[in-house]
Structure 1
Amino acid sequence: MDYRVIKENDLFMLSDKKGNIPQDHPYGLGLYMKDTRFLSKLDLKVNGQDLVLLSSDGANSYLSTILMTNVHMETESKLELWRESVEIERKRFIYDDVLYESIKLTNYYPKPVTFQLSVHMDADFMDMFVVRGFQHGELGRRTGNINGPRTVSFHYEGADHIKRTTVISWDRQEETANDGDVMFNVSLAHGQTETITFTIQPQIGEVKHRHVSSPQAAVELLQQSYNAWANRITKVQTDYKPLQSLIDRGLSDLRILLTDLGYGSFPVAGLPWFGVPFGRDSLIAALQMLPFAPEVAKGTIRTLASTQGKAVDPWRDEQPGKIMHEIRYGELANTNQVPFTPYYGTIDATPLFLVLIAEYVKWTGDLSLVRELEQSIEDALLWIDRYGDRDGDQFVEYHQESSKGIANQGWKDSADSVVHRNGDYAQTPIALSEVQGYVYQAKQGVAELYEALGRIGEADRLRKEAEALKVKFDEQFWMEDVQYYAIALDGNKRQVGTITSNPGHILLTGMLDEVKAEAVARMLVSPVMFSGYGIRTMGAGEAGYNPMSYHDGSIWPHDNSLSILGLSKTGHQEEAGVVMTGLIAAAEHFEYNRLPELFCGYDRSIGRAVLYPVACSPQAWAAGTPLTFVQALLGLFPDGIHRKIHLSPTLLPDMNELSVSNIAIGDGILSIRVERAGTELNWSITENTTGYEIVTR
């Protein structure tokens, strides 16, 4: 990727590889908090000249290290600074909503050197929707800058009447400082090093003089939080290094993306543009993380319950009981110029909310959360039947009401993503195949929860509704001629017959019978759908197929992950292994072996995986994808209500060992080791304090 991003909780910085923020950069580089850009310019120069990049390390998205040097500087035969004389190391991290940046200067010239280091900064306080070119509207105004000893602050009053301030301080006496242009005269003996540290604090509301930790204390506290995370989560060790690297990267990225709004940690969708609560994205990422950190699911559930729909509001596509799609906090949202306060235009977040609750209890046995959220659960079920099923045909459909909302409201939410085989776009209301599976799984899952709470009559009713949906789904969505399910029914109840990845999600829901599950599994790994690097969003050869598109032929790791879990759960572990192997191979073509949000759907025969140009990285549900590999390889599906653990361990062809320890299930932990000895595959449980019965397939 051509940018560097660091994040901690609610603050993130997006810069170029040199660590700079060029003014008016087309990609919207900057320092952001609450959807506002608090730093729109940051340039570092020596004697007024740009620096030469040596290395730029973005492996850890909480600590960035950039190494640079000076260009050759000579005027009229007078040497000012020999090339590569000064090493400039920039290190930056975020802690407690403060950006810390240290600039370490080292002289490698054989004699003393003198030069001017200049830092050029500005803040435009632009709303993220405006930065990205999506919206324009009434905005606020800059209200001036204040210069002080070793400090400068930029001030803004928004159209929402909220004051926003960026306070910048540094720890060395400058030569001059004027409205964000700071000059330091530096003299260094041979081998001498000097460090200048900046702190940058975004502030919302009245400016408050707050204590800022020393850089040393702040980085130690930040590191301690990462160490605590690493010690708490499930541990994985395998001799298959590409998989080990992918798992380690995924766990690290997920920690970066965790945020807490007061209801417990949950994953924001991704960086740089989706570092906010999302319904669908956060729910799926939390689902992927259940074998590693089930408490994240609890935080996600509580966070989304706190914003559950209360009223019928077409502007925000809101209805009572509905789970939000996305919430924004910037100036345009606060003044109701965009409907994201929050916006509810998602058809799948509400059933996925119920699915996550049920799955969380299967992993933890924690029925207390169900009791706490009984009203939220009832409201979500009511939304499915009253508002989700718009015409009473048992299927949940979507239709955009908001003038500034989203037209397609499934996970493939681009305007061209639901297309008939003749190339016509489907007209709303649209009933997506995977959403019906989520509803089935939600009702079956809640039925088990209700039964455990003694609500037998309601449990029976939900099971009957789920079974009726299953029958009707097969009648209306199955395409006998291609032995596969349609992606959707359009507004005229016609099948949208394009071959897509959507039906792969249904494998995990339990809604398919054995014969249909076999047909879906076969299609997913066929040359039409499987590129060699992953399952395409749309089959090659379809009218809408385009390997370069966002949703019509590209490959999304999270989309694959749900199919992988479903393949494992339905006993198709060979097919699951094929898909996992493809994604592992794809990751080797991306920076830091990190699976991005998506990549192009070209066939593997071209020799490399091709990154989609503006894919987010890290993205939560892409980072969570390798975690599902571990669950799928173990065939691990616990049932906390009935106190059972279902297991069917296997290994990928290039693996000989897999050890997974400290898996939190119920009130205990489970540890498993799988080994290959020649042609034999052996596995053993090395620790089990759960008290659950082990059931093998």
Structure 2
Amino acid sequence: MDYRVIKNNDLFLMTDHYGDIPGNGSQSGLYMKDTRFLSEMKLTINGKRPLLLSSAADENFLARIRLTNEHEEEGGEVQFWRESLELIRERFIYEEVLYETISLTNFSTKPLAFDLGVSFEADFSDMFLIRGFQPAEELGKVTDRKVDKSGWHATYQGADGVQRDTDISWGGEADFLSETDVIGFAVKLAPTEVRRITFTVIPSVNGIRPVTNPREIALAELQATYERWMEQSPKVESDSKVLNQLYNRGVQDLRVLLTDFGHGLFPVAGLPWYAVPFGRDSLIAALQMLPLNPDVARGTLKMMAAYQGTELNPWKDEQPGKIMHELRNGELARSGQVPFAPYYGSIDSTPLFIVLAAEHAHWTGDTETIAQLMPNIERALAWIDEYGDRDKDGMVEYYQESSKGISNQGWKDSADSVVHANGDFAAAPIALVEVQGYIYQAKSRLAPIVEQLGHHELAQRLRTEAESLRQRFDGAFWMPDENFYAIALDANKDQVHSVTSNPGHLLMSDIISEEKAKIVAERLVAEDMFGGYGIRTMSSGSTGYNPMSYHDGSIWPHDNSIILLGMSRMGFKEEASTVINGLLNAAEHFEYSRLPELFCGYDDTIGYPVSYPVACSPQAWAAGTSVLIIQAMLGLQPDTLNNIVRLDPFLPQGINNLTVRDIPVANGTISVVLKRKDGTESLQVEVVDNSSGCSIEMINRSPDTALN
């Protein structure tokens, strides 16, 4: 990453490696509610930028940047000997307040005297402006700006009628202000002496200020929150260092991306640009987190239900019952200049809402949440049948109605992601292959739950509709010449002749036969789709393939994780092992063993995965990949409605033991140990704890696997 980012709740800070917000067109800043509350924060020593020693934000909520001074001479006389001064910038966010402490230590043998300068600015820019959107209407303006030796303040009156403020204090008085409003501290340090200055930055909206705490108390409470999260999460140990690191990093990243918007814990999509509620992204991340913390699914479902579509609104691509795509709270969204408050242009958020509800119930046995959400679920089902399938051909299609909306409304939402073999982009309405799988999974997995709740007629209807879709599906999407499924059907119901990763999601849904599923799994790890670091989004032999593209040849970890889950469920262990090893190979090369949002689709002959230049990191569904890797290796399939937990485990080549403790299932937890016998393929499985209230059942696909 060429930036450093920390977050807590709805506030995040992005800086360069020096810890500065440099201004001058930089996208760095302190952000809350899609607004930049700090657009500049720069530190100088005697008017010069310090030298960088180290920069780390591996703890997500806490960053430390270590700096030192330049060598200064005047007329041949040393004024400031190089590396005499150590500066440590330590910053964290708690309760939507930024705390930054600058520690200054004299490591020379003589007293030091120097000027520490800090400058601030706040432009209150909307996130859309920072990312290049050109507004057609007039925006608000900064109406007040005050700087003195004891504090810094700015006020912005937005075109949306909202007042936004930034207040900064530093626990005393500075020694001077420059003509350019640089806040100056005249520092004198004896040898080994340390001085600390803490800046407190408070953003607020309409005068509602967050609670501030003494720095030490705030940091202790924040650290305790993360310690509890790690303690309450399942523990993973293996003989693979990178697997251990990837899992632990994923668990930490998922925690920092959780925000409570009033309905419970909810995973925002990612940092820095998507720290907001999403439909598809957040639903998939919550699905990935079922083995980690099922409560997140409940909070996510309630959040989605709260913003479910209620009207026909073409500007927002909204229809009754539809689940949102993205919710923004900045000036442009609130003033109606962009349709994102919220925006509904997603074809898969609605079926994924039902998928998550159903899978959460199967995992936890919590049918009460389904009962509470039944009105929302029924409206979502009605949307699928009415607005999702407007031409009544039995397939769900998308079509952009908003003039400022998204043209492609599946997870591959770039404009060039659905391309014919002749190079033409598919014309809408477009029926995506994986979306039909999501709908099948939603209806077939929901049916036994609603039947248990007494909705017998609805349960039968869902089964009938799911079976009808399954019977029509192959004839519509199977490409005999490619021996694979098409990515989509276009407006003319013609197949979009591309080989992509999308059909891999069908393995999770169970809509296709075991024979076709095996063909799909094998093709996904063939050379044209798999280059050593993961499954590509598009075959290297398809028109439109570009390893540097966003969706046409790149590698997305979350895409791989969904495919992995399906491979595991269907028993394709060899193919799943190949994918896992590829992702582990990639993770070894990324900072902190963190898989980013995506990376380029070059093969492993280069020797390392090639970064995608603007990939978000951390990203929720990329972080959730680490959890699904563990679930896939265990072959863990809870069926709590029938009080059964099924296991179909395997270990990829190079991993000989795996211990997973305290996996939340039903009303308790289970812990499982996998061991390979003496370097053979034989696997010993031991359930060392089971307080779930469910019986453990082995799926005996592998004769060499034995349960103790």
Q: Same fold (TM over 0.5)?
A: yes
> Match of 1:581?
581
CA distance in 2, matches of 1:134, 1:620: 25
Alpha-carbon shift at residue 694 of structure 1 (Å): 2.0
> Match of 1:44?
43
Q: Any unmatched runs of 5+ in structure 2? A: 700-708
**Does structure 1 residue 252 correspond to structure 2 residue 239?**
no
CA distance in 2, matches of 1:507, 1:8: 36
**Does structure 1 residue 267 correspond to structure 2 residue 290?**
no
**Does structure 1 residue 231 correspond to structure 2 residue 231?**
yes
Q: Deviations over 1:219-240 (max 9, x none)?
A: 0000111011112121111111
**Does structure 1 residue 683 correspond to structure 2 residue 685?**
yes
Q: Is the 8 A contact 1:309 1:321 kept in 2?
A: yes
Alpha-carbon shift at residue 207 of structure 1 (Å): 6.2
Q: Deviations over 1:365-407 (max 9, x none)?
A: 0011011111000000000000001200010000000000000
Q: Deviations over 1:500-535 (max 9, x none)?
A: 000000100011111110110111010010111100
CA distance in 2, matches of 1:440, 1:44: 56
> Match of 1:66?
65
**Structure 1 residues 402-411 or 445-454, which shifts more?**
445-454
Q: Deviations over 1:231-268 (max 9, x none)?
A: 21211111111100000000000000000011100110
1:119 aligned partner, one-letter code: V
Q: Deviations over 1:637-686 (max 9, x none)?
A: 10121221111111111112111111111112111111112123101111
2:65 aligned partner, one-letter code: I
CA distance in 2, matches of 1:635, 1:17: 41
Q: How does 1:286-297 map onto structure 2 within 5 Å?
A: 286-297=286-297
Q: Deviations over 1:422-462 (max 9, x none)?
A: 11110000000000000000011221111111111111111
> Match of 2:192?
191
Alpha-carbon shift at residue 148 of structure 1 (Å): 5.0
Q: How does 1:510-521 map onto structure 2 within 5 Å?
A: 510-521=510-521
Q: How does 1:640-651 map onto structure 2 within 5 Å?
A: 640-651=640-651
Q: Give the 3-state SS of the residue equivalent to 1:559 in structure 2.
A: helix
Q: Is the 8 A contact 1:602 1:610 kept in 2?
A: yes
CA distance in 1, matches of 2:367, 2:194: 58
> Match of 1:241?
241
Q: Give the 3-state SS of the residue equivalent to 1:308 in structure 2.
A: coil
Q: Is the 8 A contact 1:152 1:180 kept in 2?
A: no
CA distance in 1, matches of 2:298, 2:332: 31
> Match of 1:145?
145
CA distance in 2, matches of 1:80, 1:235: 54
Q: Is the 8 A contact 1:540 1:553 kept in 2?
A: yes
Q: Deviations over 1:517-570 (max 9, x none)?
A: 011011101001011110000000211000000000000000000000000001
Q: Deviations over 1:544-601 (max 9, x none)?
A: 0000000000000000000000000011011001001001001111111110000000
Q: Deviations over 1:306-329 (max 9, x none)?
A: 100000100000000000000000
> Match of 2:391?
391
Q: Is the 8 A contact 1:3 1:17 kept in 2?
A: yes
Q: Deviations over 1:484-511 (max 9, x none)?
A: 1000000000000100000000100011
Q: How does 1:567-578 map onto structure 2 within 5 Å?
A: 567-578=567-578
Q: How has the CA–CA distance of structure 1 residues 312 and 180 changed in structure 2, closer, same or farther, with 3 Å as cutoff? A: farther
2:684 aligned partner, one-letter code: N
CA distance in 1, matches of 2:177, 2:261: 37
Q: Give the 3-state SS of the residue equivalent to 1:500 in structure 2.
A: coil
Segments of 4+ moved more than 3 angstroms: 177-180
TM-score, normalisation: structure 2: 0.97
CA distance in 2, matches of 1:461, 1:642: 22
Q: Deviations over 1:608-647 (max 9, x none)?
A: 1000011000000000001101100000010121221111
> Match of 2:703?
none
Alpha-carbon shift at residue 24 of structure 1 (Å): 2.3
> Match of 2:702?
none
Q: How does 1:565-644 map onto structure 2 within 5 Å?
A: 565-644=565-644
Q: Deviations over 1:88-114 (max 9, x none)?
A: 100000000100000000111210010
Q: Is the 8 A contact 2:149 2:175 kept in 1?
A: no
2:563 aligned partner, one-letter code: S
**Structure 1 residues 678-687 or 337-346, which shifts more?**
678-687
> Match of 1:80?
79
Alpha-carbon shift at residue 211 of structure 1 (Å): 4.6
Q: Is the 8 A contact 2:319 2:383 kept in 1?
A: yes
CA distance in 2, matches of 1:398, 1:160: 31
CA distance in 1, matches of 2:153, 2:272: 25
CA distance in 1, matches of 2:348, 2:547: 25
1:400 aligned partner, one-letter code: Q
Q: Give the 3-state SS of the residue equivalent to 1:566 in structure 2.
A: helix
> Match of 1:121?
120
Q: Is the 8 A contact 2:149 2:176 kept in 1?
A: no
Q: Is the 8 A contact 1:165 1:207 kept in 2?
A: no
1:133 aligned partner, one-letter code: G
> Match of 2:339?
339
Alpha-carbon shift at residue 282 of structure 1 (Å): 0.3
Q: Any unmatched runs of 5+ in structure 1? A: none
Q: Is the 8 A contact 1:172 1:196 kept in 2?
A: no
**Structure 1 residues 214-223 or 174-183, which shifts more?**
174-183
**Does structure 1 residue 423 correspond to structure 2 residue 423?**
yes
Q: Give the 3-state SS of the residue equivalent to 1:649 in structure 2.
A: coil
Q: How does 1:471-550 map onto structure 2 within 5 Å?
A: 471-550=471-550
Q: Give the 3-state SS of the residue equivalent to 2:387 in structure 1.
A: helix
Q: Deviations over 1:12-68 (max 9, x none)?
A: 000000000111234x10000000000000110000011100000121211000000
Q: Give the 3-state SS of the residue equivalent to 2:375 in structure 1.
A: helix
Alpha-carbon shift at residue 134 of structure 1 (Å): 2.4
1:184 aligned partner, one-letter code: F
Q: Deviations over 1:319-342 (max 9, x none)?
A: 000000000000001100000010
What's the C-alpha RMSD, in Å, of the aligned pairs?
Answer: 1.1
Q: How has the CA–CA distance of structure 1 residues 316 and 122 changed in structure 2, closer, same or farther, with 3 Å as cutoff? A: same
CA distance in 2, matches of 1:635, 1:581: 16
**Structure 1 residues 144-153 or 166-175, which shifts more?**
144-153
CA distance in 2, matches of 1:25, 1:109: 37
Q: How has the CA–CA distance of structure 1 residues 211 and 355 changed in structure 2, closer, same or farther, with 3 Å as cutoff? A: closer
2:463 aligned partner, one-letter code: R
CA distance in 2, matches of 1:33, 1:535: 35
Q: Give the 3-state SS of the residue equivalent to 1:535 in structure 2.
A: coil
Q: Give the 3-state SS of the residue equivalent to 1:408 in structure 2.
A: coil
Q: Is the 8 A contact 1:586 1:608 kept in 2?
A: yes
CA distance in 2, matches of 1:511, 1:657: 33
CA distance in 1, matches of 2:572, 2:685: 19
Q: Deviations over 1:252-303 (max 9, x none)?
A: 0000000001110011000000000000000001111101110011111111
CA distance in 1, matches of 2:248, 2:157: 43
Q: How does 1:75-474 map onto structure 2 within 5 Å?
A: 75-136=74-135, 137-148=137-148, 150-177=150-177, 181-206=182-207, 211-474=211-474
> Match of 1:696?
698
CA distance in 1, matches of 2:181, 2:588: 41
Q: How does 1:15-34 map onto structure 2 within 5 Å?
A: 15-26=15-26, 28-34=27-33
TM-score, normalisation: structure 1: 0.98
Q: Is the 8 A contact 1:93 1:100 kept in 2?
A: yes
Alpha-carbon shift at residue 155 of structure 1 (Å): 1.1
Q: Give the 3-state SS of the residue equivalent to 2:641 in structure 1.
A: coil
1:285 aligned partner, one-letter code: A
Alpha-carbon shift at residue 161 of structure 1 (Å): 1.6
